[in-house]
Structure 1
């Protein structure tokens, strides 16, 4: 009987060391499902939850205190967690029991951190898009090598010269500049999968098709086939 139980021992029971934050969070969600989650709406955590975790897992060699701190920092700074930190929502302990309510100052701080995080993410996306456009332009228009002009050994004969008829020369006509296009920001109800929108990249808006809508994040496909994930505030009515 003891031999059979030894064969059924799980990796957790053998204290297999976890190596990254993602695995730590998955482990916490497995051990404390009423407190931690990996998908859906997150629950605000009790203040001092780290001490509770350290005490509960003090004999568990799977995770260290340093990993717990890192995992809690990542978990509580995620957009999903910050969006759940609203005034009047109760915090939970490791067993899911509700405790103190989030006050206005705590909710305001969480909302400020969320806005700053989204702004940094938007700047990174813009930088990546600009970098991709620069690379694409470099590939499309490679620099032409300079060729040294050499003199013709034989003068061109009259039969090889092209005669230009005066009637074939067309006068140059000034083309009036196109007026600037006025863009109208699009509202959330007009952003639907399969719908057409205008995406402003640089100075020129480009027609795109909506592929996916995830809250403020929208994934679109340009006419060239390029798929871009952008923000709702970067889209305009087509």
Structure 2
């Protein structure tokens, strides 16, 4: 056999054996026990095949004979076969017992691994650090009242000190003087335009001009 493509994957090598020796290596279903010393026959038959090496063949053969499918075929009454599928004798009782023990051990290990997987997942979840609780006094930024946000950004201006106004005296008044005119409950600021005896003509800051008695003028 001549080939230039090198096989390195064990599964690919097994597929090659299934194709090359279909009466010996069974790809699917129940397998057949292999002839004792089959590796030597296999190495000699593929000595000129560059696709595989002896080391790769040994690994592939070990995987094949350690599979559950193969171990189940090692039973009473089964016949060993060579590379061409020819019978090579019945199985020895000790080989049958060894295969049963190996199969049982492998299945128990697989069962234990499956049972341990949920526990490992639970431990991994527990190992994750819990989120640090927020102190009770702290509030998320989005939970703060809007008024608090505005107050934090812009400090309120201090209230101007209250100024106590007193009634004006006619003799102390003069044109262009700023005064406050008592109109209703709230004094209104303005400028004196003219004074005529007891009447005072005032230009209010609002633009309105009024004439009021001196007792309505506050300073």
Can you give the 5+ residue segments of structure 2 that lack an aligned partner in the other structure? Answer: 139-219
- Tell me what 1:96 maps to: 85
Alignment RMSD: 2.1
- Tell me what 2:154 maps to: none
Return the alpha-carbon distance in structure 1 between the equivalents of residues 17 and 137 of structure 2: 76
1:180-219 correspondence to structure 2 within 5 Å:
none
The 8 Å contact of residues 2 and 50 in structure 2, kept in 1 or not, is answered as no
- Tell me what 2:145 maps to: none
Say if 2:70 is the partner of 1:81.
yes
Return the alpha-carbon distance in structure 2 between the equivalents of residues 55 and 32 of structure 1: 14
- Tell me what 2:30 maps to: 41
1:4-83 correspondence to structure 2 within 5 Å:
13-83=2-72
- Tell me what 1:128 maps to: 117
Deviation at 1:42? Answer: 0.7
Deviation at 1:148? Answer: 3.0
Deviation at 1:100? Answer: 1.2
1:129-148 correspondence to structure 2 within 5 Å:
129-135=118-124, 143-148=130-135
- Tell me what 1:115 maps to: 104
Return the alpha-carbon distance in structure 2 between the equivalents of residues 37 and 119 of structure 1: 25
Deviation at 1:146? Answer: 3.0
Q: 1:131-175: CA deviations, max 9, x gaps?
A: 234456778xx7241333449xxxxxxxxxxxxxxxxxxxxxxxx
Can you give the 5+ residue segments of structure 1 that lack an aligned partner in the other structure? Answer: 1-11, 152-238
The 8 Å contact of residues 88 and 103 in structure 1, kept in 2 or not, is answered as no
Return the alpha-carbon distance in structure 2 between the equivalents of residues 76 and 62 of structure 1: 21
Deviation at 1:15? Answer: 2.9
The 8 Å contact of residues 93 and 99 in structure 1, kept in 2 or not, is answered as yes
TM-score, normalised via structure 1 length: 0.54
1:99 is paired with a residue whose SS is: strand
CA radius of gyration, larger in: 2
Return the alpha-carbon distance in structure 2 between the equivalents of residues 80 and 24 of structure 1: 18
